[in-house]
Amino acid sequence: MKLASLVALGLLVALNAHAGQAPARGAERFEVTSIKAVRPTLVRTIAALQKKDVASAKDAFEAFDSGWNGIEVYISTRYPEMYKELEGNYETRIIAGLNAAAPNTAAVLSDAQAMLAKYDETIGLLEKARSSFNAFNDNWDSIEDLVSERSREAYVAIESGMIQIENTLMPAKPDVDAVIGLVSGVMDRYNAIVAAVTKEARSAK
């Protein structure tokens, strides 16, 4: 699921480039900048817990929850397993711990630190996605003319598939299964033509 999402997003950026448009900067800001903007609230929660300041920890975590509400739909759609860990596991336990009659700050601190590590892992996945955008775009730009000359059918199939992927990703809650199917089709074509061109290039040496 994660790999398919990364590839699909990479294909979408490649499509924008082929169409003569700039990459979707707003989308990039949402994926990385907006999610990173919530991170300091977790850091403040941890700092307060280290001082055993439960009141400040509650305030900081309430701020986290407020910021999280703005990005949780995106996370749950793109990374459902990560979302379950962050919200269903850590957030639930931290809220319960902070609201206990006698909060165990050491236990809540441990959960908050683990949650921050998982949150950073999510940020890492998003940054990897951005890298995959550039990698796919660079690779495709360097061979698309060659692909078109060698197999117009393959070229049209790849470009058409990218358009379909863009359209499927447009809704607020994309049909993930449909995206995965489209990505698989495009990548099969892409990998086949790259393998064929590479083989011919090696044979010519």
C-alpha dist (Å) from residue 118 to 4, 22, 35, 86, 205: 20, 32, 13, 7, 48
Q: What is the pTM of this model?
A: 0.56
Domain boundaries, the chain: 2-204
Provide the token pair at 5. Answer: 């999402």
- What are the phi and psi torsion angles at 71 (to 5°)? -125, -5
User: Residues 6 or more apart from 102 whose CB is under 8 A from it?
Assistant: none
Angle in degrees, CA 186, 174, 30, rounded to 5: 100
Which pLDDT tens digits describe the chain residue by residue (205 residues)? 444 444 444 444 444 444 334 444 444 445 567 788 899 999 999 999 999 999 999 999 999 999 998 888 878 877 788 888 899 899 999 999 999 999 999 999 999 999 999 888 877 776 675 555 456 656 667 777 877 888 888 888 887 877 776 677 666 555 656 766 777 787 788 788 778 777 777 776 6
Whether the CB-CB separation of 10 and 136 falls below 8 Å is answered with yes
How far from chain centre, in Å, is Cα 160? 23
What confidence tens digit (pLDDT) does each residue in 52-75 have? 999 999 999 999 999 998 888 878
**Tell me, what's the pLDDT at 19?**
39
Provide the token pair at 23. Answer: 């990459």
